[in-house]
């Protein structure tokens, strides 16, 4: 992609969850920084891997783990004041997307960002409200129940078909508890009842039980796109997972860009109906039992996988947003069919699990890496973030293996459908970020209300 004409507007990458090894923000820094755009980052740790990027113009560090929402808002406004000019604000997690929407009136004096129908980001990131929207507008999604008590769970277990997925509904609740479980795959009624009993009261009211759709990572399709102020998609590309981390339940660790007209059509129509604006990351699972693509998750913000979906001219959702919000035309871009993207450390760990489970051979692993065109961490022109990531990840893995060895537990599970924990956060490891969610739940707009 050629250098764009107007590069005068800076960008602030906003991360409000406590996870130092987040690669999505680094992707933004590199994608825009290589075009000569000033990119700043909000972070909790001055030594985070992304902070070492040569393309990062500057950082705003504060203690996200301890700051109140009001303090975080004050810090963000102060950052805007220090820049001395309006900057594009780019959320990289569900919490920050809802935070920007909640405080749009105060933030717009200092920042530029797509204005959503009020409350829509929170509705889409909350799985219960998203399920209601899918049912209202005829979008296929796995069947789901929302138990209110242990009695409800026991009643469901009597007639349920296993395995099932036990999921957390609201990212704001998980945000209060770094390391809390977000997804469990359970293969029996006893597993379900045991898992429910282990949850404390807060987590019990934040769970849902979802139909398990058979299939591996390759059955999960993704759409990444950017929608303008009229909810028209100016750039959109589809792809699917090859592997994920954690295995069976987690985000993409190795993905490939492939055309899927059904996923593209469903997403564009659904977002147009909702009046959605901005960057979107959305996932579906193909259900071979009825031939339908069923919506799993909606991320109303930048997804960590976004650099998988780069066009033949270098266009991605971040560049499309920048051009549109600065009043510049967004050129058409064809997808790079067959393009692969990898998260190096995550994919290595997941590959080991799949290998031990006899679901991946060494030859298949080598073959799967052919065609990888970009990595989340390593880049020849920007090597330091990769070095820092390896150091941190190696230390974390060593501590984990030592702990498991002391407890006499196997290092790698051989169960085909294991009980997996998907932590939303990581241990606190730094100086600055936003901790507690905004108090109160934003009311649903009348046009999206579901009774």
DSSP output for 402-414: HHHHHTT--SS--
- The whole-angstrom separation of Cα 265 and Cα 56 is 36
pLDDT per residue of the chain (451 residues) written in tens, 0 to 9: 667 889 999 999 998 877 777 899 999 999 999 999 999 999 887 888 999 999 999 999 887 767 777 888 999 999 999 999 999 999 998 888 999 999 999 999 999 999 999 899 999 988 899 999 999 999 999 999 988 888 888 898 888 888 888 887 665 444 554 455 567 788 888 888 888 877 655 555 678 888 989 888 889 999 999 999 999 999 999 999 999 998 888 899 999 999 999 999 999 999 999 999 999 999 999 999 999 999 999 999 999 999 999 999 999 999 999 999 999 999 999 999 999 999 999 999 999 999 999 999 999 999 999 999 999 999 999 999 999 998 887 776 677 777 767 776 655 544 433 333 333 223 223 322 222 222 222 223 322 223 2
Residue whose entry in the numeric block shows the structure tokens 């507690």: 436
Residues 432, 64: contact at Cβ < 8 Å? yes
Tokens of 256: 């490939």
Q: Which residues pair with 93 in a beta bridge?
A: none
What is the pTM assigned to this prediction?
0.84
Neighbours of 198 (CB within 10 A): 11
| Chain Cα centroid distance, residue 225 | 14
**Opening angle at CA 268, ends 267 and 271, nearest 5:** 80
pLDDT digits (tens, 9 = 90+) for 382-438: 999 999 998 887 776 677 777 767 776 655 544 433 333 333 223 223 322 222 222
Neighbours of 208 (CB within 10 A): 17
From residue 131, alpha-carbon distances to 124, 169, 209, 295 in Å are 9, 10, 12, 9
Tokens of 102: 């909640």
Residue 208's contacts (CB-CB under 8 Å, 6 or more residues apart) are 127, 128, 131, 144, 145, 146, 147, 166, 167, 168, 169
Neighbours of 91 (CB within 10 A): 26
Residue 255's contacts (CB-CB under 8 Å, 6 or more residues apart) are 222, 239, 240, 241, 242, 305, 308, 340, 341, 342
Residues 13, 42: contact at Cβ < 8 Å? yes
- The whole-angstrom separation of Cα 94 and Cα 301 is 7
From residue 151, alpha-carbon distances to 143, 147, 167, 196 in Å are 20, 8, 18, 11
Classify strands 39-43 and 11-14 as parallel, antiparallel or unpaired: parallel
């Amino acid at each position: 992609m050629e250098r764009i004409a107007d590069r005068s507007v800076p960008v602030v990458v906003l991360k409000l969850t406590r996870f130092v090894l987040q690669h999505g923000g680094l992707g933004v820094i590199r994608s825009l920084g290589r075009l000569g755009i000033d990119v700043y980052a909000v972070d909790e740790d001055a030594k985070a891997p992304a902070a070492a990027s040569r393309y990062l113009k500057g950082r705003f560090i504060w203690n996200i783990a301890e700051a109140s929402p009001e303090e975080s808002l004050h810090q963000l406004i102060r950052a805007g004041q220090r820049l001395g000019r309006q900057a594009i604000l780019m959320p990289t997690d569900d919490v920050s997307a809802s935070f920007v929407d909640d405080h749009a009136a105060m933030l717009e004096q200092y920042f530029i960002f797509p204005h959503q129908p009020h409350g829509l980001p929170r509705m889409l990131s909350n799985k219960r409200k998203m399920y209601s929207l899918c049912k209202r507008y005829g979008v296929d999604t796995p069947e789901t129940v929302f138990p209110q008590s242990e009695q409800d769970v026991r009643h469901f277990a009597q007639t349920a078909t296993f395995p099932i997925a036990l999921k957390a509904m609201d990212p704001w609740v998980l945000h209060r508890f770094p390391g809390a479980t977000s997804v469990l795959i359970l293969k029996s009624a006893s597993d379900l009842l045991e898992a429910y009993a282990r949850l404390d009261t807060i987590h019990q009211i934040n769970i849902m039980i979802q139909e398990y759709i058979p299939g591996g990572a390759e059955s999960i399709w993704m759409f990444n796109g950017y929608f303008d102020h009229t909810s028209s998609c100016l750039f959109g590309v589809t792809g699917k997972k090859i592997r994920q981390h954690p295995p069976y339940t987690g985000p993409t660790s190795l993905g490939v860009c492939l055309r899927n007209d059904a996923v593209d059509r469903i997403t564009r129509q659904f977002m147009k109906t909702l009046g959605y604006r901005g960057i979107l990351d959305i996932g579906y699972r193909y259900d071979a039992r009825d031939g339908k693509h069923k919506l799993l998750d909606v991320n109303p913000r930048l997804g960590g996988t976004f650099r998988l979906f780069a066009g033949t001219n270098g266009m991605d959702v971040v560049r499309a947003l920048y051009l549109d919000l600065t009043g510049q035309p967004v050129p058409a871009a064809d997808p790079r069919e067959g393009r692969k993207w990898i998260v190096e450390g995550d994919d290595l760990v997941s590959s080991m699990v799949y290998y031990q489970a006899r679901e991946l051979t060494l030859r298949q692993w080598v073959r799967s890496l052919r065609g990888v065109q970009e990595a989340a961490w390593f880049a020849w022109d920007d090597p330091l973030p990769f070095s820092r990531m390896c150091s941190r990840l190696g230390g974390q893995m060593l501590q984990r293996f030592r702990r498991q060895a002391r407890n006499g537990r196997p290092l790698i599970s051989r169960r085909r459908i294991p009980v997996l924990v998907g932590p939303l956060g990581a241990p606190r490891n730094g100086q600055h970020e936003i901790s507690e969610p905004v108090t109160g739940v934003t009311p649903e707009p009348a046009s999206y209300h579901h009774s």
